Amino acid sequence: MIIVTGGAGFIGSSIVKALNDQDRRDILVVDNLTNAEKVNNLSGLEIADYMDKDEFFDILQAKKHSAKKLGAVSAVLHQGACSDTMATDGRYVLHNNFTYSKELFHYCRRHHLQYIYASSASVYGAGAVFKESPDFESTLNAYAYSKLLFDNYVRGQPDPGIQCVGLRFFNVYGPREQHKGRMASVAWHFRNQFRAEGKVKLFRGTDGYGDGEQRRDFVSVEDVVKVNLFFLEHPGKSGIFNVGTGRCQSFNEVAMSVINTLRLDRGETELSIEDAVQQGTIEYIPMPDALLGKYQSYTEADLTELRKTGYAEQFLTVQQGIKRYMKDLEHPNT
């Protein structure tokens, strides 16, 4: 059996779907369904069992007889977390993202299970180098700190005797993120803005970047899932690895990809960025005070370590990935 924590969430449910596509049904989904909208992510998927995350945590802490309660498990893909980068309850964030991850690590170690967990590119803070090294890690919020704290905890352990993989996701977008609210990707928000108002709002220039020219490494959830499954299929490979495209692209590019994909779907012609700004289809707004000093204006994954593992798949560009994503949203049954 494979355990997927956060299995009703964005990336977790996408992993479950991919496992189903490989004819895997022996999946235990662990999640917190307080937000009932996440149930939609499990609709149509086939799993062996579901368990609430608090019940699961109790089993992890009980230690005795825990293997019997969970059955024959081979691997854990740990996607569950508090992903709110603006969360103010540090105690809650640390419990969910550090303590929970630590208990699960030791459970996997005791029972010799593969352990693949979600880290985050937020651990690099406002730096300009995105390489898996403490020299380039500096956090800007509680979420990022909780992720880096666990990465460092794993680094500090003697050889655990199991596969242990931390995947530092950059800006992920794609299907099954609708429940995330304000924490959903900019692609999701841009699509909703354009459909509701006929325009997309981007931040004015910051940190030396022009209006809408802040640059991130935007990665499709399709590619994120592929990397997870690669490590699941290669249990001898361990470490902490960046998961991005290896190329930064601007928010302007994301916005124009969303706008033009939707325009073409309506039978309208594509716009240039200049025309979109002139027509008011793109509007630049001030950055909120709450984000000042806590915003990454530039990210770009260094994929050197990931490529060393033998992972050779090419990553979708923003233009390729957004086109697929918008078509999935506009025509979900085709």
Would you say residue 257 lies in a domain?
A: no
Of 143, 145, 173, 298, which one is the catalytic site residue? Answer: 143
Would you say residue 206 lies in a domain?
A: no
What SS3 class is residue 308? helix
Would you say residue 35 lies in a domain?
A: yes
Of 17, 131, 180, 226, which one is the catalytic site residue? Answer: 180
Would you say residue 207 lies in a domain?
A: no
Question: Using one digit for the tens of pLDDT, what is the confidence trace for 38-51?
Answer: 999 999 999 999 99
Q: How many domains does the chain have?
A: 1
Q: Give the rounded percent of residues in the chain with a pLDDT score beyond 70.
A: 97
Contacts of 49 by beta carbon, 8 Å cutoff, 6+ apart: 28, 29
pTM: 0.94
Would you say residue 42 lies in a domain?
A: yes
Decide if pLDDT at 288 tops 90.
no
Question: Using one digit for the tens of pLDDT, what is the confidence trace for 201-216?
Answer: 999 998 899 999 999 9
180 is known as an active-site residue: yes
Would you say residue 270 lies in a domain?
A: no
64 is known as an active-site residue: no
**In the predicted model, what is the mean pLDDT of the chain?**
93
Write out the DSSP string of 119-135.
EEGGGGTT-S---SSGG
> What are the residue ranges of helices labelled H in 37-170?
39-42, 53-62, 66-70, 90-94, 100-111, 142-155
Q: Report the C-alpha gap between 301 and 219 in whole angstroms.
A: 10
Would you say residue 332 lies in a domain?
A: no
Q: What is the pLDDT of residue 333?
A: 74
Give, in degrees to the nearest 5, the angle at Cα 39 between 34 and 42. 140
Decide if pLDDT at 64 tops 60.
no
Q: Pick the closest to residue 262 from 190, 183, 170 (CA basis).
A: 190
Decide if pLDDT at 67 tops 90.
no
Q: What is the CATH number of the domain that holds 79?
A: 3.40.50.720
Q: What is the pLDDT of residue 172?
A: 98
Decide if pLDDT at 82 tops 90.
no
Q: If pLDDT is split at 50, 70 and 90, which confidence band does 332 have?
A: confident
Q: What is the pLDDT of residue 60?
A: 87
Is the Cα dihedral 318, 319, 321, 326 positive or negative?
Answer: positive
Q: If pLDDT is split at 50, 70 and 90, which confidence band does 68 have?
A: low
Q: Are 221 and 175 in contact (CB under 8 A)?
A: yes
Q: Residue 83 sits in which domain range?
A: 2-173+219-246+300-315
Q: Are 6 and 30 in contact (CB under 8 A)?
A: yes
Q: What is the pLDDT of residue 66?
A: 60
